[in-house]
Amino acid sequence: MADDSDLRRDLLWRIDARRASVQAFLRYHRPRTRRRATVTVVLTSLAAVFTAGPAFGGQPFAESVQDVLGLASDATVWQVLCLLALLVSVAAAVLTNIGKSQEDVARLASAEAANAELEGLASLLRFGHLTVEDGAKLYQQYSVTIPFVDDQPTPAPHAGYYAPPPPGSHGAPPPPRSYTPPPPGPGPYPPAASGPGSYHRPPGR
């Protein structure tokens, strides 16, 4: 059984891995959400610009644009402005509905809150102000608020972290080890005789 320090290190490793997944989610989705919001604001503003001229200027505005562009009729000015206003309004509505259907803003807020909560939980565990049992409960409570964040592949725990053994490895006996004697060393002397006090003269003498 792993002791309390091993379980604490294992929980800290899981918290750090979950935080890494949340931060990867934020790095990917936060710029996309901001760009989509910016484009939506720009398109909505363009729709207002295209309709502001005819609304405030009326017929004199259409005639002025006709003279500047050299058009044959002021009806073309109305048609072009209405068409442009329609296109940008539809594009802005599509982007807005996409953001609402994917709940981008709500997911970003939940991910940022969970990241801060997991960071605080890791600090409490590292400095010993929280038991492992309470830390595990809080970790589960914070994780269920971000089910849309996929776990990222994380490296194996570095030195100082406890990694639980793989399933089925508990109680497995170590493999048997056999002894192999070293080979005899080179030399002119033959093996010693079995009798005590016997001596063999080296060959060549």
pLDDT-derived band at 138, boundaries 50, 70, 90: very high
What's the total number of domains in the chain? Answer: 1
Nearest Cα residue to 125 out of 16, 20, 24, 22: 16
- What is the spatial distance between Cα 192 and Cα 205, in angstroms, rounded to a whole number? 18
Nearest Cα residue to 200 out of 191, 161, 60, 180: 191
Contact 200, 193 (CB under 8 A): yes
**Structural domain span for residue 125:** 4-143
* Residue 138 lies inside a defined structural domain of this protein: yes
What average pLDDT does the structure give for the chain? 78
Nearest Cα residue to 13 out of 169, 95, 126: 126
Q: What is the pTM of this model?
A: 0.60
Nearest Cα residue to 46 out of 87, 17, 75, 103: 87
* Residue 165 lies inside a defined structural domain of this protein: no
* Residue 177 lies inside a defined structural domain of this protein: no
Contact 8, 132 (CB under 8 A): yes
* Residue 168 lies inside a defined structural domain of this protein: no
* Residue 185 lies inside a defined structural domain of this protein: no
State the pLDDT at residue 187: 54
pLDDT in tens, 13-31: 999 999 999 999 999 999 9
* Residue 155 lies inside a defined structural domain of this protein: no
E-only strand ranges, 67-153: none
* Residue 62 lies inside a defined structural domain of this protein: yes
pLDDT in tens, 60-89: 877 787 777 777 777 777 888 888 888 999
Q: Residue 76 burial (CB < 10 Å; 0-12/13-18/19+)?
A: middle
Half-sphere exposure of 104 (CA within 13 A, CB side): 16
Please give the residue that has the higher pLDDT: either 138 or 179: 138
* Residue 32 lies inside a defined structural domain of this protein: yes
- What is the spatial distance between Cα 52 and Cα 45, in angstroms, rounded to a whole number? 10
